A = this chain, B = another copy of it.
């Protein structure tokens, strides 16, 4: 593990500045005090998605809150790959897995989209967010993926930024070789994953009309939606993402 001398690694919303005192929220304080049983003087790592990762020291343990002091920055904030995962919501356990694993695999945004064949009517955004935060803490990320506002398919296409290429993972067999397409269209990107029943013909027609969209193939076997999401993200990171860049650590 990378956090050798640190007893935990947590995401916070507050600014991280040397010598500042921070009061941690109730749930994190509870976790540090009652689950990990930490004491005053113990060190934990904090990151907020902006100021890098900081080593902090527990300076006070009160009944409902813990106070820490930011000591020094152990990792500078650096840019991370700009890859959105746009996916049709699926059932609870599998959507937890999507949030966790897409975070591990470095998605910068998780954006639920309701397509014609999406069987799930609503999505618990708070749960999606807390799964993403937990996975960011455990996977040593310096950021937490943004959560996009759940959107209807037609609305998504209207809103889609012109400069961002969208790779639609297509199970109908008409998709192009995925790694070649990633190499052709580098820069800010999105991966679109359909529901278990796939996209409707009308949806595929709408996608085909756009110039910054192409259909890519994940092979001839039928993949579950969550498998397709992990697979496409892994291929993107390996081919044009940050898998070949060594992380820089200031101090361990």
Contacts and interface: CB of A to CB of B under 8 A. Distances in A.
A106, A177, A222, A232, most chain B CB atoms within 10 A? A222
A57 to B, nearest CB: 24
Contacts of A244: 177, 217
Given A230-B227, A230-B230, A234-B234, A221 B178 contact: no
Q: How many copies does the complex hold?
A: 2
B243 A234 contact: no
A181 to B, nearest CB: 11
Give the interface size class of chain A.
35 or more
A231 B241 CA distance: 13
B222 A245 contact: no
Interface string A145-162: 000000000000000000
Interface of A: 1-2, 97, 100-101, 104-106, 138-141, 173, 177-179, 197, 217-224, 227, 230-235, 237-239, 241-247
